[in-house]
Chain A
């Protein structure tokens, strides 16, 4: 014989509901217990003031638009140079197409080169040039999506496209240059673990330069930083020559943001496009954190506007 006694359920929790010692629970009239959440917590301190933000804006923008002068490009170039183009990896060909002046490089791989370089992905680059009495020019356009890992462990992976066109005079000097493109990449260098300096770059935009002082630049993107400011991001940043009617030589338009190591984002909206109506083209803008001003930042934007920092 089985005698099974199932005791009644324990007294209702509300019978002795007393609320948590941290005040996060409480009984309510209908007998249920309410979860009232975690106790309030002091937010982490902000690490930057308005001047610090201004400095980070300078550094971030220089890094973003000057990235091809950095280690990313050096490493990609060095790795690319080592590739055995006659070998089985990556599959590669180059050919004149269309005319004697149009050349296409194409590669595709998912294997390891004899020297230990791993290539995965594909890319294509087309170049063309023209020349004639009084003028010459060229364009290059390309697309890639892939990862290259060097024998030393350096790695770059990403995707993007670009179109670069340039006109030159008979002396070979640039008359104008035009670039548009988009690049997103993870990269890491060989100092210690490749993780130590891995970083994400992302940018899209375009630029124009001509010998008569015409410049234009538009960019969206972000780039990592080091120190108290760990990241920089821009959205809708644009400027062009005053000779083309740009109203505000001391400012770019757009939203610029800096993140500190504690997670605070400092947002700066430059109002260059409003110059003609409110006359605030002073190179300064309020720094907002969660919509609250913490001061005014006046970064030195002149090198950017003059494109001195732009490596393109």
Chain B
């Protein structure tokens, strides 16, 4: 029996309840139990599954979930999760940026390619993780760089450092957070005669949630001249064109400092001299939706001052954590979260707290209107949870197999490359299962071989190369199920797994191989993909 008391006015589920007069039995919106919720929170906030001890603790005291949320918001892994969440709208994680390491003098092609697109995402993630005001995203005078990126970018990366560090561009470019980063504008380039319009739309889409391409336009193609000068004139005079171009073109005029003359059309160095090339292009001076400005610094402040920037941050976080677009019933909640976001000084963690506390985030099943009871793990979470469990990260030379497409399997695993596929899969598909299967086998073999080297061995009952007693076998299988799938296996499930283990042992004569098989099957379980 489930007793649910919901007495809050405006609750989205309320409108779906049958009226008292209807005589129908009320269906109570169900919320996740504490253990299941803990799994979702752990994956969303730190990219790994909760430990058995954490599951035990929340089982004993369900209210301890709140303490876990706070702890995980402070966990260094939260920063990476924020990066991965914002990677979806930014679409910067390509693995075939032009030029390449050999042209620009970077020591590693794979690391250079990965770092380019991560630069703006790391900046955003640092702002979120450090509870800095969200406006820093577009006003900060610093960016993020790792050692490889610093071999190419003109930044003051500290001597001897290795990982991602806060740095400053040394070429004197204006400070505007992500709007000043090479990573952003290497990703979003512009042809000579597009005058940065695509870049302008990237700003509107990513930071304002106002994609110009979603605006309704209607015009006759027969009235459009493709002659360059005439086309430019039409964009500025035809009412059907000006719907977008009146805002897009002057927004693009801020970005001519990222005009590159190399044939690769990218350069690590900001091009001050080209800032006023708009005068020779559209001839439209920079302005932000009608407000004149001068340079990137102005643009950053104008974006920061735009109410849409604040609302978009909330909506993007909601969308990322709910794994679905915001729908009509969400917007009252988003408005409330946005208000608190503002009153709290624009701290992103406040938004995350509100989203993960929402009944729709915690929905156990379909009884919660617009709930998200089952989410497919994004490829980043598939990789990070398997790595945390087994110590295995699938790489090919230095390429992350689940983070790239040129050599890797990101798209097949349901990821987005940001160009051909712009949103991650939300439903399982065949190729994802194939990738999971291969990943499971590789990771299990690695885990068995390297378990003794780990501080927190996966095989905590019996070493994998030792023949277990019957009791050890059952206990170890039970432990692995809890560790890998966050599930308390039933006696029947454990017995089935033990029989399989025995068969594999008889067949191979090796306890290690039998454990590798058992672990592979756990890592192939659909429960690893849905949370």
Chains A and B are bound partners: yes
Residues of A within 8 A of B (CB): 1-6, 8-9, 12-14, 17-18, 20, 25, 32-38, 41, 44, 118, 120-121, 145-147, 149, 153, 155, 157-159, 184-186, 194-195, 198-202, 220, 222-224, 230-233, 235, 255, 257, 259, 261, 263-265, 290
Q: Give the contacting residue for A265; candidates B294, B307, B343; CB below 8 A.
A: B294
Cβ of A157 and Cβ of B268 under 8 Å apart?
Answer: no
Whether B393 is near chain A, meaning CB under 8 Å from some CB there, is: no
Whether A184 contacts B276 in the complex (CB less than 8 A), given A35-B307, A195-B268, A198-B268, comes out as no
**Does A235 contact B279, Cβ atoms closer than 8 Å?**
yes
**B54 in the interface, Cβ–Cβ < 8 Å?**
no
Which of B263, B279, B305 touches A146 (beta carbons < 8 Å)?
Answer: B263
Q: Which 5 A-B pairs have the closest CB atoms?
A: A37-B305, A222-B273, A184-B261, A231-B272, A231-B273
Query: In the complex, what residue of chain A is closest to B271 when comparing beta carbons?
Result: A200
Least CB distance from B28 to A in Å reads 8
* Stretch of B3-11, B120-128, B370-378, B492-500 at the chain-chain interface: B3-11
Query: Are the CB atoms of B276 and A265 closer together than 8 Å?
Result: yes
- B345 nearest CB across to chain A (Å): 7
8 pairs, CB–CB < 8 Å, chain A vs chain B: A13-B336, A38-B305, A155-B103, A157-B262, A186-B261, A195-B154, A200-B273, A224-B273
Tell me which residues across on chain B come within 8 A of A222, comparing CB atoms.
273-274, 276-277
A2: chain B residues at CB < 8 Å are 1-3, 33
B273 x A41 contact (CB < 8 A)? no
Q: A4-B31, A195-B154 are in contact. Are A9 and B8 (CB under 8 A)?
A: yes
Interface residues in chain B, defined as those with a beta carbon under 8 Å from any beta carbon in chain A: 1-8, 30-31, 33, 102-103, 105, 135, 139, 152, 154, 172, 174, 259-264, 267-269, 271-277, 279-280, 294-297, 301, 304-307, 310, 335-336, 338-340, 342-343, 345, 359
Given A6-B5, A13-B340, A185-B261, A259 contacting B273 (CB threshold 8 A): yes
Q: Cβ of B276: which chain A residues have Cβ within 8 Å of it?
A: 222, 233, 235, 257, 259, 265
- Distance between Cα atoms of A38 and B177 in the complex (Å): 15
A281 shortest CB reach to chain B, Å? 23
Note all chain A residues with C-beta closer than 8 A to B342: 20, 25, 33-35
- Cβ A202 vs Cβ B343 within 8 A: no
Give every chain B residue within 8 A of A232 (Cβ-Cβ): 273
Give CA–CA (A13, B334) in the complex, Å: 13
Contact among A25, A32, A195, A220 with B280 in the assembled complex (CB-CB below 8 Å):
A220
Give the CA-CA distance A5 to B5 in the complex, in Å.
6
Q: Which of chain B's residues has its CB closest to A290's CB?
A: B294
CB pair A13 B277 closer than 8 Å:
no
Contact indicator B279/A255 (Cβ below 8 Å): yes
B141: min CB distance to chain A, Å = 12
A255 neighbours in B (Cβ, 8 Å): 279
**Known contacts A1-B3, A185-B262, A198-B269; can you find 6 more A-B pairs with CB under 8 A?**
A2-B1, A4-B3, A32-B339, A35-B305, A41-B301, A44-B297
A200-B261 CB under 8 A given contacts A4-B2, A38-B139: yes
Pairwise interchain contact B260-A13, C-beta atoms closer than 8 A: no
- Give the residues in chain B near A264, CB-CB below 8 Å: 294
Query: What is the CB-to-nearest-CB distance from B254 to chain A, in angstroms, rounded to a whole number?
Result: 12
The CA of A37 and the CA of B1, in the complex, are separated in Å by 50
Contact of A194 among B105, B263, B273, B304 (CB under 8 A): B105
B1 lies within 8 A of A159 (CB):
no
Q: Which of chain A's residues have a CB closer than 8 A to the CB of B260?
A: 186, 200
- The distance in angstroms between the C-alpha atoms of A233 and B335, with both chains bound, is 46
Given contacts A32-B339, A33-B339, A263-B174, contact A157 B273 (CB under 8 A): no
